[in-house]
């Protein structure tokens, strides 16, 4: 996990147009926020529900889109078919 205490709010809109440091790059800041949130979500899902983040994504995708083939699920989640098959097998066993 990364320390976010050194990151401050943008001083003004010019920082978006002409960033002077890494912390002023919007995509960098978004990436840091995603990493932080992802870590918290992973701990919640794996610790609270006993499933992996990948399995959680499979459940969510199937709940939202309904029945689909393993290949279609893999494509939707941008995973290879082997990992998708293993994840589905693990879910069935649970």
CA 94/CA 83 separation, integer angstroms: 17
SS (H, E, C) 46-61: HHHHCCCHHHHHHHHH
Q: Is the pTM of this model over 0.85?
A: no
pLDDT-derived band at 44 (thresholds 50, 70, 90) equals: confident
CA 73/CA 5 separation, integer angstroms: 38
Q: What is the pLDDT of residue 26?
A: 80
Write out pLDDT tens, residues 60-83. Answer: 999 999 999 999 999 999 999 999
* 83 Cβ neighbours under 8 A, 6+ residues apart: 54, 74
């Amino acid at each position: 996990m990364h320390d976010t205490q050194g990151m401050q709010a943008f001083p003004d809109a010019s920082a978006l147009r002409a960033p002077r440091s890494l912390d002023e790059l919007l995509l960098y800041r978004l990436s840091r926020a995603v990493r932080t949130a992802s870590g918290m979500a992973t701990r919640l899902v794996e610790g609270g529900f006993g499933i992996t983040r990948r399995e959680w994504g499979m459940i969510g995708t199937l709940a939202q889109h309904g029945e689909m083939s393993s290949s279609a699920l893999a494509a939707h989640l941008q995973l290879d078919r082997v990992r998708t098959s293993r994840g589905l097998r693990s879910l069935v066993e649970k």
